[in-house]
Amino acid sequence: MPQKCSKKIRKKRYPSHLSDGAWKAIKPLLPGAPVGRPRKLSMRQVINAIIYVLQTGCQWRQLPRDFPAWSAVYYDFNRWRRDGTWQRLHDRLRARLRQRHGRHKHPSAGCLDSQSVKTTAIPGERGYDAGKKIKGRKRHLLVDTLGLVLAVVVTAASVQDRDGARQLLCHLPGHCKKLRKIWVDGGYRGRLVDWVAQRFRFVLTGVLRPKERRGFVLLPRRWVVERTFGWLNHSRRLSKDYERLMSSSEAWIYLAMSRLMANRLA
């Protein structure tokens, strides 16, 4: 009788998988299972599946079979988006990384800028940025001097930079309480500077391009936030805005920066 040979099925490891050191940095910061529902899936596998979507830009239903069922993975992503888990995870990792660099966990200076990105055919709010000739959405980012995100607001691309900045500054989290200076470009000048001076303890400082220079010019301070936009573009899910909800777009930005900071802490 021919003998049956049993083959042990091994799950494939993808380049997007968290390393052991990165998982060690993230694991204590994740929430536990919902009350009354013991967790059956591996939390690390769920996080790896979400990061796979982030890095490859694939649809949820196209998740490889090496991961848990896409519906279970999406359930956790959506639940943590609604309860603010992604932002809390991101903020704790940023505080640890700043302390690793010898900085106070609450920054005193930052840089503010926006980035317009195209959207897809998925329904959702969008607009047209006449300046950059892009139909889609606009990401308003406030970063510290290391380029780590402090706050993010996603709006329609038709929203002016000054109006988007007001939305962002009106909802600054507690870790921004020590901010005293924020560098901005010329698009934020005007009434916004006076509005900020009347309501906040920090000031907006413009960094303008020299009029006599042509071509590419590396501007002091402002390059920090441009580098952060470059980091986000490494994730295909963020190359365009594929989300129906603005909060989902913001959650992916927090997740992309959390992965970057976890790798650095590792």
Instruction: Sketch out the chain's domains with CATH numbers.
Output: 106-242 (3.30.420)
pLDDT tens figures, 190-245: 899 999 999 999 999 988 777 776 766 677 788 899 999 999 999 999 999 999 99
Average pLDDT, stretch 3-26? 76
| pTM for the whole structure | 0.90
Q: Name the least confident of 31-40, 62-71, 87-96, 189-198.
A: 31-40
20 vs 17: CA distance, rounded Å: 9
pLDDT above 70: percentage of residues in the chain: 91
Contact 115, 121 (CB under 8 A): no
3-state secondary structure the chain: CCCCCCCCCCCCCCCCCCCHHHHHHHHHHCCCCCCCCCCCCCHHHHHHHHHHHHHHCCCHHHCCCCCCCHHHHHHHHHHHHHCCHHHHHHHHHHHHHHHHCCCCCCCCEEEEEEEEEEECCCCCCCEEECCCCEEEEEEEEEEECCCCEEEEEEEECCCCHHHHHHHHHHCCCHHHCCCCEEEECHHHCCHHHHHHHHHCCCEEEECCCCCCCCCCCCCCCHHHHHHHHHHHCCCHHHCCECCCCHHHHHHHHHHHHHHHHHHHHC
Residue 96: per-residue pLDDT: 96
Average pLDDT, the chain: 90
Cα R_g (the chain), whole angstroms: 21
Gap between the Cα atoms of 241 and 126, Å rounded: 10
Dist CA 136 CA 116 (whole Å): 7
pLDDT digits (tens, 9 = 90+) for 47-61: 999 999 999 999 999
Tally Cβ neighbours within 10 Å of residue 4. Answer: 5
